[in-house]
Structure 1
């Protein structure tokens, strides 16, 4: 291959990569929406993905975010921190971010937010509910990637139909 051929391949591969990436993002969003709906309807969190001949190739699993302690009232939390941990409050009258992260990591994410040492409810803090899952994991089954590649090379997977780049039918 000469430079011109390599350059043409680079351009074509770049266009294909970008098109496939856009399709991948759209399909990933559709799968996430479908998994969320299946979770709500059927309490399904995970699903096995198979080839048309039912050979398993991957598992998709919703990734559940955890509830998190958040500051609901900055003034109340700052006042509590100043009274109970004055060395952790800056003169700006704000809680040092590093200490706040450390404290939040030690707090329970249920019920009223309380100091783990004294049991005192910490003013200004509340527990935010966990948001909807924003992602899922994709774990190929052993040999799954090779099975997909083999199916692609043998024509079992028709990429033109699968991708239908540009949204049109082929």
Structure 2
């Protein structure tokens, strides 16, 4: 294979990858909006994915993570940490709670589902100021097992995916594509 051929192949693959990436982002956004609408209308949060001939190739679900503990008022959280665990507070040019301990406290609050922390050293339950449980954005999870990927590859090779309007490279005028 000549260097010119390798360069042309790399350029074409790069251009296609960029175009596919843009189309994929748009399709995933449309899918997530559709799943959110389906959940609101009928409670549907998971659908199967099938090729035209009806062969199931995977599934997609709307995932709504549980609320997570978040420091919403760093000053209040810092004052509380200074009181209950001063060794976890670091003073430099800026005084802050040690990130590892903050992460530990937030993880435990998230697990408990309430802005309280149980001190393992003395068993006291603390209301933690400056921390709230906040909802997190829903996202989609697509599961396509190897058998589904194989079916997609075969459908691509045999030209059976045209009904999906996958990618139209219409941004480049025809006269610019001539060699």
TM over 0.5, shorter chain: yes
Per the TM alignment, residue 160 of structure 1 is displaced from its structure 2 partner at its CA by 8.9
Residue of structure 2 in register with 1:55 after alignment: 55
Say whether residues 1:146 and 2:143 are aligned partners: no
Residue of structure 2 in register with 1:17 after alignment: 17
Structure 1 outlier segments of 4+, above 4 Å:
none
Residue of structure 1 in register with 2:96 after alignment: 94
Aligned-pair RMSD on alpha carbons?
2.2
Per the TM alignment, residue 159 of structure 1 is displaced from its structure 2 partner at its CA by 7.9
| TM-score computed with the length of structure 2 as normaliser | 0.80
Per the TM alignment, residue 48 of structure 1 is displaced from its structure 2 partner at its CA by 0.6
Q: Which moved more, 1:78-87 or 1:91-100?
A: 91-100
Per the TM alignment, residue 163 of structure 1 is displaced from its structure 2 partner at its CA by 1.7
Partner Cα separation in structure 1 for residue 112 and residue 43 of structure 2: 23
Q: Find the partner of 1:127 among 117, 130, 133.
A: 133
Pick closer, same or farther for the CA change 1:93–1:17 going to 2, 3 Å. closer
| TM-score computed with the length of structure 1 as normaliser | 0.83
Structure showing the higher strand proportion among its residues: 2
Uncovered stretches (5+) of structure 2, i.e. residues with no partner = 172-179
Aligned length: 164
Uncovered stretches (5+) of structure 1, i.e. residues with no partner = none
